Chain A
Amino acid sequence: MNIHRPHRLRRLFALLFATALVAAACGSDGDSGATATSECGTDTSVAMGDSVTDLTFALVAPSAKDDLAFTQSMVDSLTRLGIEPQITDGTFIVEEAAAAIRGYAEEGVDVVIAHGTQYGGSLAEIAPDFPDTSFIWGTATDTQGLDNVFAYYPEADQGGYVNGWIAAEMTDGAAMGVVGPVEAGDAVAYVNGFIAGATANGAPAPSVVYTGSFSDVALATETAQAHVDNGAQVLTGTSQSTVGAVNVAAANDIPWFGTQSNQEAWSTDLVVASQVYHWDVVLDDMIESIEGGTLGGEAMAITLQNGGLVIEINGCYGLDDSVVDGAEGIIAEIIDGTIDPT
C-alpha cells in the first residue's frame, strides 16, 4: 500500500533523518546541513535508511558501485532513502548501459536511474518507448525535452570553492595541483570553484591538468606526481581515476581534498575535506512528483542551500578550529548568496 504523505512533512522527515544520521556518525553537532566534521576513526559508510517509497528502482552507472566517487555517491544517496535498487555498474560502454536501461524498463521497474552524462543519447531513444516509466538522468542540466525524464546535477563549484578556500588557508602561498578528468560537466564546475575559492583567499592560481579520462588511474597518478614535482603542497581532483592521485599524495604527505564521495577511506590521514553529493535531496523531490503522477520534465540541482552538497571535514586531519570556523562562514555566505563561487 502506498502511504501518501503531504509534501512538506515528508521532506522534513527525510532531512531530520539525514541530520540524525550525520550527527550520530560525527558526534559533533552540524551547525547547518552543509558541513560535518567527523570524529576521527568513525566509519564513513552509510547505513540503510527507512524506506520512503514503494516504487521500484534500478541504477545503471559507469563505474563500480563502491568507487568512493561518482557512482558511490548515488548508491549512498539511495541507501539513505532506504531504497535498494537493482544495480548494473561498471557500464562505461554506453551500448551496454543502454541495453541495461531498456532491460529494466521492459521488466517494469518504476524508476530507472541512468547515472552518467554519457547515457543521455541512449535515453533520448529509450524514454519515449516507455511513457509509464520514469527515468532519472544525471549529471545533466536539462531533460532533453522529455517529460518522463528528471535530470540532476550538482552545483559542484560551491564545494570546490569551499575546498579551495580551506586549501589556501593551509598553504600560505605555496603551489596546489588539481587532477581533472575530462573537461566537462561537474568536473569543470568543481575545478573552477576550487580555483575561485583558492584565489579569493589569496593563493596563487592552482595548476590544473585534465588527463582526458575519467578512469585512467595511471594518468591520474602521473599527473599528481607532476604536481608534486612542481612543488604542490595540496592536491585535489575528481573522478574515479583519482585513487592513483591519492596514493601519490599519501606517499608525499600532501593533503588531499575530495569531492563526490567522502574519500577518507582511501587515506584517513590525508583527506582534509570532501564535498559529498547527497542526491537524496533531489531524489526525494522526484519521488514525490512521480508518486503524484508527474514522471519527469524537470532538472534539479543539489546545492549547499538545499543540503544536497555537504562538506565533510575529516576529524582525523586535525584542521585548526579557526579554519573550520572560517569554512563555515564561507559556506554560510555561499548559501545566502554573498559569495558567488562561479
Chain B
Amino acid sequence: MSDFFTLTVLVGTLASGIRTAMPYLLAALGETVGQRSGVLNLGVDGVMLLGAFGGYYTVLQTENHWLGVLVGLAIGLGMGLVYALVTIVFHAEQGISGIGIFLFGLGFSDLLFQELVGTPRPIKPLPKVEIPLLADIPHLGPAFFQHNLLTYVAFALVPLTTWMLMKTTFGMNVRAVGENPQAADSLGVSVAQTRMGAILFGNTMAGLAGAGLSLQLAIFQHNLTNGLGFIAVALVYFGAWRPRWVLAGALLYGMVTATRLRWQSLDIIPRGASDVAAMAPAIITILALVLLASRVRGPAALTKPFSRH
C-alpha cells in the first residue's frame, strides 16, 4: 500500500485516470444532450467504433491528427443524420434502432479495418500539449496539464454543455421537448428540429470520442471500444442527466480503473482477485453516483416518439 502513495505513482495514476476518462466523457456529454431532448441512443458504441476507425485510418494515411479528428467528427455527424432519420422521421423504436446502429458500427468498422488495414499498425499517438506554466508545477503539472488536446477539450466541454443546455435558446428547447414535447409544440417549438439538433450533437460527440480513443491509443482493432459507449450511456443515466455529474462519473470510472491497474501492478490487489478488480470501476462509479447525484427523474419524454395525433 505504501508504494501507492509515492508521488510518482500517484501522479501516474491521476494522469492515467484522466486519459482513460476522456472518451467516456466526450461520448457521455453528447448523449446527455441527446437524452435531454428525449432521444435515447444505444448506438453510441457503434458510432464510436466508426469514428475510431475513421480517425485511425486517416492518421495512418496522412499522419495528420487534426484531419483524423475532423474525420471522426464528420462520421459522427453522418451517423447522427442516419439516426435522426430513423427515429425522428420514421418514428422507429429507439432502443432497437440504437442496437442496430451499434451492430452496424461494430461490423462495418471491422470490415473496413480488415479490407483497408488488416494487421493492426500503430500510428503516431496524439501529441501531448503542455499547458504553459501549469505544466511545470511539480507533480500537479504531469498529472493534470500534460495531456493531449482532446482531453482538455473534453473537460472544457463540461461547462460549455451545461451552458448550452441551461442558457441558450436551443438548450431551453432541448429541455422542453425532452420533458413535454406537446407543450413545446403548442408554442411553436419544432420538436423534430430540436431533437434532430440534439441527436446530431450527441452523435458528433460520439464520433469525436471514438477518434479520441483510437488516436490516444494510437491503434485500431476489432471492437476497439470494448463496450465503452454503453458505459457512457450508463454514466448519463446514473449522472442524472447533469453534465457535472456525468463528469464526476467519467472521472471516477477512469480513476478507479487507473487505481486498480496500479494496485494490481504493485501487488496491492492479489493476482487471484483480478476478476473482482475488473468489475470495480463500474460498480464503484454506479454506487457513488446513485448515492451522490441528486436522484432526479429522467426526461419525462425519453424514448417516446412525438407526433401530434
Contacts and interface: CB of A to CB of B under 8 A. Distances in A.
Interface of A: 63-68, 72, 90, 92, 177, 180, 182-183, 207-213, 215-219, 221-223, 225-227, 229-230, 240-241, 243-244, 246-247, 250-251, 265-267
Contacts of A243: 120, 122, 219, 221
A43 B303 CA distance: 53
Interface in B37-91: none
Nearest to B120: A243
B266 A92 contact: no
Contacts of B278: 210-213
Given A207-B267, A217-B224, A265 B257 contact: no
A183 to B, nearest CB: 5
B146 interface: no
A212 B274 contact: yes
A221 B218 CA distance: 10
A218 B12 contact: no
Given A90-B110, A218-B213, A219-B261, A210 B274 contact: yes
A29 B19 CA distance: 46
B211 to A, nearest CB: 14
Nearest to B225: A218
Interface stretch (B111-119, B157-165, B180-188, B192-200): B111-119
Nearest to B110: A90
Contacts of A241: 221
Contacts of B307: none
B223 interface: yes
Contacts of B219: 217, 243-244, 247
Contact of B261 (A222, A240, A244): A222
Taking residues whose C-beta sits less than 8 angstroms from the other chain, chain B's interface range is 35 or more
B8 interface: yes
Contacts of A90: 110, 222-223
Given A208-B264, A212-B279, A230-B266, 15 more contacts: A64-B221, A66-B119, A67-B221, A68-B120, A90-B110, A209-B261, A211-B274, A212-B274, A217-B219, A218-B20, A226-B258, A230-B9, A240-B222, A241-B221, A244-B219
A227 B265 contact: yes
A177 B274 contact: no
Given A68-B119, A183-B271, A209-B261, A226 B221 contact: no
A217 B19 CA distance: 13
B122 A246 contact: yes
Contacts of B13: 226
A336 B20 CA distance: 47
B190 interface: no
B203 interface: no
18 contacts: A64-B110, A92-B223, A183-B275, A207-B265, A207-B266, A210-B271, A210-B274, A212-B277, A212-B278, A215-B226, A217-B226, A222-B258, A226-B13, A229-B262, A243-B219, A251-B125, A265-B119, A267-B122
B32 interface: no
